[in-house]
A and B are shown apart, each in its own frame.
Chain A
Amino acid sequence: MVIGLYNYWIVVALMMIGFYIVIAHGNLIKKIVGLTIFQTSVFIFYISMAKVDGGTAPILADGIERFSNPLPHVLILTAIVVGIATTALALALTVRIKEAYGSIEEEHIQEKDNQAC
C-alpha cells in the first residue's frame, strides 16, 4: 500500500505545491515556475502509470520479454516540447507586460489598470 501508491502521492504533493505558487504568489515569473512544477508532476504521473514491474525500456532487443508501456512515453515526450514552447510564449508575454507596466507584480499591474479606468 505504502510503496504501491507512493509515487502518486508525490505527484499530488508536487501538483499542490505548483498550484499554491500559482494562486498565492504575485510575481509572474514565479507563477511560470509554479506552472512548470505542476506540469512536471503531470509528466511524472503518466510515466509512473507506464511503469511495469520487471519491464525495461520499450526498445525491442533479443531476450527481453516485458516492456513498459510506450504510449504514455510518447504523449509525455511531445508534451515536454510543447510545454517549453508555451513557457517561452508565457515568458514573452511577461517581458511585454514588464515593458508596458514597468512591473511584473500582479498588484502593481492591477493598480495601474484601475488608475487608467
Chain B
Amino acid sequence: MLIGATLAVFVVMTLAIIRGIMGSSLYDRILAVNMFGTKTVLLIALLGFIMGRPEFLDIAIVYALINFITVIGVLRYSDSAAFKQPAEEKRPEEL
C-alpha cells in the first residue's frame, strides 16, 4: 500500500515536472514548483515509513517550510518591473 502511494506520488511529480518545463507563463512554473514541493514532502514521509526510520519526518517539515518561503519570495520579487514579460500589458506599479 505504501509502495503504491509512493508510485502515485512519483507519477504526479513527473506530471508536475512536465508542466514546469512546458509552462507557458511564469506562474505556471511557480505552481509546478509549489506542487512539486508538496509532493516531495509526501514522498519523504512515505519513504521514511517504507524504510522504517520515521526520523525522516524532520526533513519533511523542513521541506514544507522552505517550499512556502520560496513561493512567497518568488511572488514578492516577481512583482518588480524587471520580471514583466514583454508580451504582458504593462501596468503602473506601486512598488
Task: Write the residues of chain A forming the contact surface with B, with a CB cutoff of 8 angstroms.
Answer: 56-57, 59, 61
Contact = CB atoms under 8 A, between A and B. Distances in A.
Nearest to A61: B53
Nearest to A57: B53
9 contacts: A56-B51, A56-B52, A56-B53, A57-B53, A57-B55, A57-B56, A59-B53, A59-B55, A61-B53
Which 6 A/B pairs are nearest by Cβ-Cβ distance?
Answer: A56-B53, A57-B53, A56-B51, A59-B55, A57-B55, A59-B53
Interface of B: 51-53, 55-56
A61 B56 CA distance: 14
A77 B56 CA distance: 16
A102 B52 CA distance: 55
Contacts of A59: 53, 55
Contacts of B51: 56
A57 B51 CA distance: 10
Nearest to B48: A57
A21 B55 CA distance: 38
B64 to A, nearest CB: 20
Contacts of A61: 53
Given A57-B55, A59-B53, A61-B53, 6 more contacts: A56-B51, A56-B52, A56-B53, A57-B53, A57-B56, A59-B55
A61 B52 CA distance: 12
Contacts of B55: 57, 59
Contacts of A56: 51-53
Nearest to B52: A56
A46 B9 CA distance: 27
Nearest to A59: B55
A59 B52 CA distance: 13
